[in-house]
Chain A
C-alpha cells in the first residue's frame, strides 16, 4: 500500500504565468493564450488595448497576479464571466474602470481555462 504523502511534502503549484491573449471570434467566448511574457510586457500590452491572461492552477495566485497587472494600468474593476453575454468559455477578468485602454487581464480558475492559440 502506497503511503499518502504528508501535506508538508506536497509541492506547491508552480507560480502563475502571464501570456499574450486574444478573444476567439465567434460564440464561444474563449480566451486564446499565446507567448509567455513578463509583468512589464503585460502592462505595456494592456496599455496598448491588448488582452493578457494569467494561467496556472492556483486561483488565488492567478487572480492576484491579474489584479496587479491591471492595477499598474489604472483604476480597474473585476468582471465575472457571464455565460450568455460573454460566452460559455469566457474567463473572469480585470479591466479598466473607464476605458481606454480597452482590453482585459483574464485569469484562469479551477474550472475555466484559456485555450492555446492555434
Chain B
C-alpha cells in the first residue's frame, strides 16, 4: 500500500484528540494523492475501476482465498448492503506478494475483513500490468499483479448472514 499504508491505519488507533485530528488530516491527504494518481493513470486504469465501481468492499468478510496456476480467487461477503457474495478472479501477471505482518500485532483482528485497497499500474518483463493491493483486518496485505480481473456478485444461500433465516433468503 502506497497511500493507505498500514502505518496510517495504525495511527488512526491513537485516541488522543490531537492525534486523531492529525491522523484524519493525513488520511484526507492520502485520499487526495490517490485520486490524483488514478487520474494520472486514466484511461488505462479506467476499465479496472469500472469493474469495482460501487461494490464497496470495506469490512467485507473474507470467505476464502485460493489460487490455481495464474488464477487467484478471493471470495468475500459484503458488509455494506446489498450484502452480496463477491468473487474476485484475477489472471495474474506475476507472483503475488503476501505480507502476514503488515499491521502491528496489537491491531490485528482474529477475523479477516477487507479494510482498504489501492489500484496501480506496474511493469513485468516490460509489459504493463495492473496491481491491486489490499489491507486486511487480520494484518495481512496482499499485492496482486494482474492482467485481468473478473468481479462476480451473487446472493448468499449458505452460510446465511447473521439474523437472516432461510425463509428470508432471496430466491435465485
Q: Which residues of A does B touch, CB under 8 Å?
A: 23-27, 29, 49, 60, 63-64, 67, 77-80, 82-87, 90, 92, 95, 97-100, 102
Quote the shortest CB–CB distance from A47 to chain B (angstroms). 13
Which of A23, A67, A82, A99 contacts B116 (CB under 8 A)?
A: A82
Whether the pair B53, A49 counts as a contact (CB closer than 8 A) is no
Q: Which residues of B contact A (CB under 8 A)?
A: 4, 12-13, 15, 17, 20, 23-24, 27, 31, 35, 52-59, 79-82, 107, 109-111, 113-117, 162-163
Question: B24 to chain A: which residues have CB within 8 Å?
Answer: 80, 92
Please, which residues of chain A bring their CB within 8 A of the CB of B53?
Answer: 27
Tell me if B58 and A27 are in contact (CB < 8 A).
no
Partner of B20, one of A25, A78, A87, A95: A78
Q: Across the interface, which residues of B come within 8 angstroms of A23, CB to CB?
A: 80-81
Q: Which residues of B contact A26 (CB under 8 A)?
A: 54, 81-82
Given A29-B56, A85-B56, also A77-B107 (CB < 8 A):
yes
14 A-B residue pairings within 8 Å (CB atoms): A23-B80, A26-B82, A27-B53, A27-B54, A29-B80, A63-B20, A64-B17, A77-B107, A78-B20, A79-B58, A82-B116, A84-B52, A85-B56, A95-B59
Q: Beyond A26-B82, A64-B17: 13 further Cβ-contacts under 8 Å?
A: A25-B81, A26-B54, A78-B15, A79-B58, A85-B56, A85-B116, A85-B117, A86-B58, A87-B56, A87-B80, A92-B24, A98-B109, A102-B162
* A-chain residues with CB within 8 Å of residue B116 when the two chains form the complex: 82, 85
Residue of B nearest to A111 (CB): B28
List chain A residues, Cβ under 8 A from B59. 79, 86, 95
A78-B20, A80-B27 known; A102 vs B79 contact (CB < 8 Å): yes
Determine the chain A residues whose CB is within 8 A of the CB of B56 once the complex forms: 27, 29, 85-87
Which single residue of chain A is at the shortest CB-CB distance from B24? A80
Give the distance in Å from the alpha carbon of A104 to the alpha carbon of B106 in the complex: 20
| Interchain nearest-CB distance for A54 vs B (Å) | 14
Which of B80, B82, B109 has its CB near the most chain A CB atoms (within 10 A)?
B80
| A85 contacts B54, C-beta separation under 8 Å | no
Contacts of B163 in A (CB 8 A): 49
A80 CA / B111 CA spacing, docked (Å): 19
